[in-house]
Every structure is written in C-alpha cells, then in structure tokens.
Amino acid sequence: YHNPHTKHGRQAIVHLFEWKWADIASECERFLAPKGFAGVQISPPQESIVLTTPWRPWWERYQPISYNLCSRSGSEMELKDMITRCNNVGVNIYVDAVINHMCGASGGEGTHSNCGTYFNANKKEFPSVPFGASDFNDGKCKTASGNIESYDDRNQVRDCRLVSLLDLALEKDYVRGKVADYMNKLIDMGVAGFRVDACKHMWPGDMEAVFGRLHNLNTKWFNAGSRPFIVQEVIDLGHEAIKASEYFHLGRVTEFRYSSKLGVIMRKWDGEKLCYTKNWGEGWAFMPTGNSLVFVDNHDNQRGHGPGGSSIVTFKDSRLYKMATAYMLAHPYGMTRVMSSFAWDHSDQGPPSHADGSTKNVKINPDDTCGDGWVCEHRWRQITNMAGFRNVVNGQPHSNWWDNGSNQVAFGRGDRGFIVFNNDDWPLNLTLNTGMPGGVYCDVISGRKEGGRCTGKTINVGGDGRAHFNISNTDEDPMVAIHADSKL
C-alpha cells in the first residue's frame, strides 16, 4: 500500500481541492502531464449532505449520505471520463475516501443531498447503502455526549463520534463489505489509490480488514498485482494517545509535524532558523521517509481546521509559501503533495460558485495562472518548476550543504540539482560548490528554459563545480534553483 505507482518518474502529487471532474480531466491533459505532476488527490466523490447554514461549506463533502458517485464535482460519468483521461496521460488519481462516518447527528431527515437521496440522521438510516442504526458505534462509545471528549483516551477517539459525525461500526463484516465495495468500484474505474480520511478515528485492525478486501489496480493502466496506494490522515504532533506509527503497516501517513515545523522555520518564530534544517527529515523526529506524505499546508490547516494554527504558511503569504514549497520539493524527505486552493475570506466558505450553489469552472488566464477565485498554487511558475526539479533529481542524495549560521542555506542533490535560499534580512553574495557539471544553467525560480534560452537569471557553473550566487533579501523570490535539465 506504500507504492504510489507514479508514471515516468514523476514525484509530486497535487490536491485539486474542490475542482470539478471535467476541469481535472482538462488539467491532466493541458498542464499536469506536460509539467510532470505524478497525480491528483481529488475531493470526496461520494454523495454528501447539502447544507445551507452556513451556505454550502466546503466541509459538507465530509458528511456522506450514500456511496453514489454523485457530488459537487460532477456525476459518475464525468468522474469516469476524468479518471480515464488522466490515466491516459500518466497522471494518477487518488480519492479522498470518507469511511469513518456518515453525516452529522444533527443532519436531519430528507433529501438534502447531492442527488436527492433520502436519509434520516435522527434514526441513523441511509437506505441507499443501506446502513441502519445497528451499523453505527453508539453502543460501544462510553462518553456521556456520544462524542470524542478527550484525545488522551484511544477508545473514545475510535468508538465515539468525531465532532458529532455518525460513527460507522467498522468492526462489523457488513459495514466493512459496504466500504470495500465503494472503494473497489473506484479501483475498477482506474484510480491508483486513496487518501483515507480520519484514520485516527478507526482501529487499525478494522482498516486492515477493509484494505484486505480491495481489488488490485486496473490492469488497463497498472501492472498486474498492483495494490492500491494508501495515505492515511492521522494527525500526530507527538502528545496524544494515538501514534502515527500504529498505521505504518497499512500505508503512508500524513506527517503534520513537517507542515507545522516548516511554517515556524519560514516565519522565524520560536528562535527557529533555516540553518537548523541541515538534518531535516528523520533528524527532526519525523516518521521514516518511506512512511510519510508531506505538505506545506493542507485543506484543513490552511484555514485553521486541524493542527498547526497560525504557523502554517499558505498562499496568503505567497513569498514564504513559494520558499517553503520549493524547500519541500527540493528535499529528498517524504512523498510530496502540493496544495491547490480556492480563495476564501471565512473558513467555512465553499469553492467559487454560482448563485445556485454549483461550483464554477476553473478559469485559466493567458499567463497560465487561474482566475474566478481559483488560486492554483501548482501553476505558480516557481512551484511548477520545482515539481520538475524533484523529478530530475529523484534518487540523488542530499549533498553540498552550506549555511551561514542563520537563514541562508544551500544544498544539492548529487550532480543533478542545486538550490540556494536567502531568508535573512541581508543580501547573499558568494561562491558555492554546487556539485554540478560545468556549464550555463537557467534558474527555474526566476524563469524557465525555453527553446534553448533562459527567461530568467543564468548561473555559470565552473569546471570545478563552483558558481557565484547573488540573492538580494528584497528579491521577489529570494532563492535560485538549477538542475540538469535547465542546462543551456
């Protein structure tokens, strides 16, 4: 479950948060494949509740009503078409699977769901699956409220309701079967794996039983015998009863410490300095690299849900965000996920939408950026080009580290790439050993190589591998990156 089955040596996946299936299909063909992105994490595709107070929040999609593939992102036909078209250009699809629970206990009764499927949250009835009252954990939960009241008690974290969401009894063979059927339908359609929601709230043994029933990936696009890739969402900052390591054997796990630490470092809070990242990775007590999925921000912590608080760097701090993302993509630790957001003013706000609540198309501007409220961080030149950098340096060691004892650092990836950061309040002006073969290279932060010419800064690497770098602390992007494929 740890192998993402990426194609053509591609290394970074992108979360196209709340995008419609039709837009994702086009994005795979026109941008993600040519730029070398490995895959897309999509928003939950199952039918969910429709909420109007607050008005159509993004988080309604985390409240399933049925496993019909009918959502704010589109129909089953559109989903299938998207999976096919992305697979055909070598971009994998990873589904956000919400299998811990159904809707909130106060979800009411009726047909306020994406495709008008009837449900009754009071009676815990979801006839379209079907699930009934006995398929939920309420008998097992020991708290007075029926909700999780303390994260220090592993039993209640797994047997009680997460923020009142009706908690499925995954110990039941019947429930496991229904969940596995849902996931298998997606696997048969061609998805490469899953981001599994709220894994802290499920017993690893129950998850193992579900995953054991999953089909191998569709052999139209994947090798025979390929198991689905699994990323488990477990928030473990180190001080709760449940540890991320309990889930290592089941797939990769989200490393939230990476996101919160990188934010603190880039903001220079708590006395942190970029030079302390010389041993970034396991040296910072992160989980083993082969177990981790890493990110600068995710859809929760970019808006104050989940952990990390105000330290998290997001598109709203664009200069720091580009630096943090470049650092992540240049560094060998972990499997990387790039966030692609929509703009928002308040944290409940759903994606850009029309008056009837339907999601707007993603608008693409002539300069490759997005419009109509779509932020598209993955299309920011610096971030796109660093996803390319990661592909070019894949498999190369972290090498030629340099730092100034403060917030200026540089490191290479064998003889395939080199990057320099200046997050201090004074200029960087010096010669460094890059480890790269001599030649003239195009800096992929300030520009890109186009038809043998460079649209940004050029860097001259001498026959001895040394090159001069001059990065002002007031530069739009105070960093420079070169790699084997950016050689002119």
Residues binding ligand AAO (CB under 6 A): 59-60, 62-63, 98, 104, 106, 151, 162-165, 197-198, 200, 233, 235, 237, 240, 300, 305-309
Contacting residues for 410 by C-beta, under 8 A, at least 6 apart: 400, 401, 402, 403, 418, 419, 420, 421, 432, 469
Cα 228 to Cα 438: distance, rounded to the nearest angstrom: 42
Cβ proximity of 116 and 184 under 8 Å: no
Active site amino acids: 197, 233
Nearest to 444 by CA among 459, 430, 433: 459
Least distance (Å) between residue 11 CB and ligand AAO: 23
Task: Output 62 or 418, the one with its CB closest to ligand AAO.
Answer: 62
For residue 414, give the amino acid letter. Answer: G
Least distance (Å) between residue 353 CB and ligand AAO: 17
Task: Output 58 or 421, the one with its CB closest to ligand AAO.
Answer: 58
Q: Find tokens 């730092």 and name the residue.
A: 403
The overall longest dimension of the chain from CA atoms, in Å, is 74
Least distance (Å) between residue 374 CB and ligand AAO: 19
3-state SS class at 156: helix
Task: Output 141 or 165, the one with its CB closest to ligand AAO.
Answer: 165
Least distance (Å) between residue 52 CB and ligand AAO: 13
Task: Output 63 or 87, the one with its CB closest to ligand AAO.
Answer: 63
Task: Output 199 or 370, the one with its CB closest to ligand AAO.
Answer: 199
Cβ proximity of 383 and 322 under 8 Å: yes
H or E stretch at 418: strand 417-422
Q: How far apart, in Å, do the first and last CA atoms of the chain sit?
A: 40
H or E stretch at 363: strand 363-364
Contacting residues for 355 by C-beta, under 8 A, at least 6 apart: none
Task: Output 243 or 363, the one with its CB closest to ligand AAO.
Answer: 243
Q: Which residue is nearest to ligand AAO (CB)?
A: 104
Angle at 104 between CA 175 and CA 44, to 5 degrees: 65
Residue 354, strand partner residues: none
Least distance (Å) between residue 243 CB and ligand AAO: 11
Assigned token pair, 147 = 């909700």
Cα 144 to Cα 345: distance, rounded to the nearest angstrom: 36
Contacting residues for 294 by C-beta, under 8 A, at least 6 apart: 255, 258, 259, 328, 333, 334, 335, 336, 337
Least distance (Å) between residue 253 CB and ligand AAO: 12
Task: Output 305 or 319, the one with its CB closest to ligand AAO.
Answer: 305
Least distance (Å) between residue 57 CB and ligand AAO: 7
